[in-house]
Structure 1
Amino acid sequence: MARLPDFEAWAVFASVAESLSFSRAADDLGLSKATVSKAVARLEERLGARLFHRTSRRLALTEAGRAAREDAAALLAAGEAAEARALDANGTPRGRVRLAAPMSFGVAHVAPVLPEFLAAHPQVSVDLHLSDAQVDLVGGGFDLGLRIAALADSSLRVRRLCGVRRSLVATPAYLDRHGRPEHPDDLKRHACLGYAYLPTPDRWHFSDASGTTASVAPEGPLRANNADALAPALRAGLGLAVQPDFTIWDDLGAGRLERVMPDWQPPPIALNLVMPPGLPRPARVSALISFLEGAFAAVPWAQPPLPSPRPSPAAAQART
């Protein structure tokens, strides 16, 4: 008789592969480090291949480990989903929800509201994955993802939570020294702090109320793949940056930053909740969806973005 797959070892491997740490995986799974290590060794013996390169300071996936990582995550997600469906029979949300969110937004706005959700649903746990890079929800085994963008069409299910206004901002001191630009073309003479994960990081796009569009190639002393990394340089008056309101709301209110070129706006974006296709949702996932909808319905920075401008007959050709 063929041996059954070692599902426990696959699940343990999935956790270690995600965290690249035996100790962290042991804590996440509620197991001893020795049990985690033995499970991975058992799987390696069964597969006849090493899954990790191990040194005293670093753990890295081998080629075989990288090939097995997605399958392991899918097996773990399928097992959790099957268990959750069985548990959902009594209607009480329970089990783990895997939620992906952008790094800065997750730390500043998602993590602070989760205690309220967890207190209301003591049998639910949340595995919060923070990264500014767009994760593969299906391949990574995620139940939900928060994305702040104008989303392209995809097979994912999308629920818009709120609009997010973006503005070009700088310190009053910087603007006093270098002048206040009035048109995107003026930015060619200014230091621009760039965010690497914009849809077009090498080109900033703006439009005015008449529908006229303009774009500029930003140049400046700093570009980063995390919005928080730009904040010290921005507040130090080293340049201008396009920032979402949830990042700069307090600085605007305190006068530390000033909106620039208010007649020219970057393309509108929104805070979206994205989900893999397929229904029904487990009760634990539906509970978190409802909670997040309420949590971000009336936050002070959640203003509907400016409507997409409609070109008028008098609109000038875009200046580049």
Structure 2
Amino acid sequence: MADLKDVNLNRLAIFVAVVEAGSFTAAAARLGLTKTMVSTHLQRLEREIGAGLLVRTTRRLSVTESGRAFYEASCKILQAAEEALSAVSGESAPLRGTLRVNAPIDYGALVVTPALVEMRRAYPELDIELVCNDHYVDLIAEGIDVAIRLGQLADSGYRAVKLGGFVKWIVASPEFIDTWGKPKTPAALAPMPHVALSVLQHPLTLELQRAKGAKQSVRCENVLLVNTADAARAATLAGGGFGLLTDFSIADDVAAGRLVRLLPDWTGKPKGIYAVFPPTRYPTAKVRALIDVIRRRLEPPVNG
């Protein structure tokens, strides 16, 4: 059995980075080390613990059964070490290093970006990178510390913290309403031009509900398909059709009269906003700080 005094704990962090990045090259880039140095550290770690952790071939890198168990334990050790450092340095200690964040394009621009600017003011020694896109991102393969995701979460080994929620409103431009009028029932939406997101599983179908619990499904017959939420908002503002759009993206448009809510008693199904991070026991201090900032920004204003 390996003796703890013979193990260089710094190599645990390198091992975890290799497993999460999926290759020596990607891990080296994340750690700021050379590929040769990463490989050397892993070889020495395997000698120190007396077990093979990785299987290397010319085409791929795989984790052994022992390596998988050691990875889970290493994550807990590193997390415990970080918590111990936070305890002795105080919660007000500056955050350092790099925080890589992934978010949907519209939510990233409207909510996450201002939150990250606030974090930079509070922690000027923290480097932040925001990666926005509207497709699924593999956090481990892409080296993402935390992803902000909307809606129903896919089954995965990731951990998640709920930040808040959102609904979708049925909206249209005043010009659209002048031409088509206001529908009196959800069924009346079916023949109207509709701006829909092609990335949705069923873009031609509206799943609506009322606060009292009534639900209705509407199949749209006249649809303009776009592949981003920003394009859907732009097309709706231009009168290309009515849209079923997120409240956080169009609340200002509705308040300013650029868009009008149709059937305001009806909305899309309420959904959650989540911070998703790799499967360590707890989110890191950097991730916790971002979670706190976003939660605070999502809190409704207090009327005084």
| Fold shared per TM-score above 0.5 | yes
2:3 is matched with none
Give the one of 288, 297, 300 matched to 1:298.
300
In structure 2, what is the equivalent of residue 213 of structure 1?
215
Whether 2:173 is the aligned partner of 1:171: answer yes
What amino acid does structure 2 have at the position aligned with 1:140? Answer: E
Where structure 2 has 5 or more consecutive residues not aligned to the other structure, the ranges are 1-14, 37-56, 64-73, 87-92
Moved over 4 A (4+): 12-15, 67-71, 79-89
Structure 1 match to 2:258: 256
Shift of 1:88: 6.5
Offset, 1:9: 7.3
Q: Distance in 2 between matches of 1:68 and 1:193?
A: 44
Give the alignment partner of residue 249 of structure 2, picking from 242, 247, 250: 247
Amino acid of the structure 2 residue aligned with 1:112: P
1:287 pairs with 2:289: yes
SS in 1 for 2:216: strand
User: For the structure 1 residues 69 and 109, does the alpha-carbon distance in structure 2 shift closer, same or farther, using more than 3 Å as the test?
Assistant: farther
Structure 1 pair 286–210 and aligned structure 2 pair: CA distance change class (3 A): closer
In the alignment, the residues of structure 1 paired with residue 280 and residue 79 of structure 2 have an alpha-carbon distance, to the nearest angstrom, of 15
CA distance in 2, matches of 1:183, 1:97: 47
In 2, distance between residues paired with 1:283 and 1:140?
A: 20
**Are 1:123 and 2:125 an aligned pair?**
yes
Q: Cα distance 1:116–1:182, how it changes in 2: closer, same or farther (>3 A)?
A: same
Q: How does 1:37-48 map to 2 (within 5 A)?
A: none
AA of the residue aligned to 1:278:
T
How far residue 162 of structure 1 moved from its aligned partner, in angstroms, is 1.8
3-state SS of paired residue (2:150): strand
SS of 2:128's equivalent? strand
Structure 1 residues not aligned, in runs of 5+: 16-28, 30-35, 43-63, 72-78, 301-320
Contact kept in structure 1, 2:233 and 2:245, CA below 8 Å: no
TM-score, structure 1 normalization: 0.65
AA of the residue aligned to 1:207: Q
**CA deviation after TM superposition for structure 1 residue 126, in Å:** 1.9
Counterparts in 2 of 1:1-320, with a 5 A limit? 10-11=25-26, 90-91=85-86, 92=93, 93-151=95-153, 154-220=156-222, 222-298=224-300
Offset of residue 139 of structure 1: 3.7
Change (3 A) 1:81 1:199: farther
Sequence identity of aligned pairs in percent? Answer: 32
SS at 2:289 equivalent: helix
For residues 69 and 191 of structure 1, what CA distance do their matches in structure 2 show?
Answer: 51
Give TM-score, length-normalised by structure 2. 0.68
Aligned equivalents of 2:291 and 2:269: distance in 1? 26
The question of whether the paired residues in 1 share the 8 Å contact of 2:139 and 2:147 is answered with yes
Question: How far apart are residue 69 of structure 1 and its match?
Answer: 10
C-alpha separation between the residues in 2 aligned to 1:108 and 1:68?
Answer: 39
2:197 and 2:269 map into 1 onto residues whose CA distance is 15
In 1, Cα distance between the equivalents of 2:279 and 2:289?
A: 17
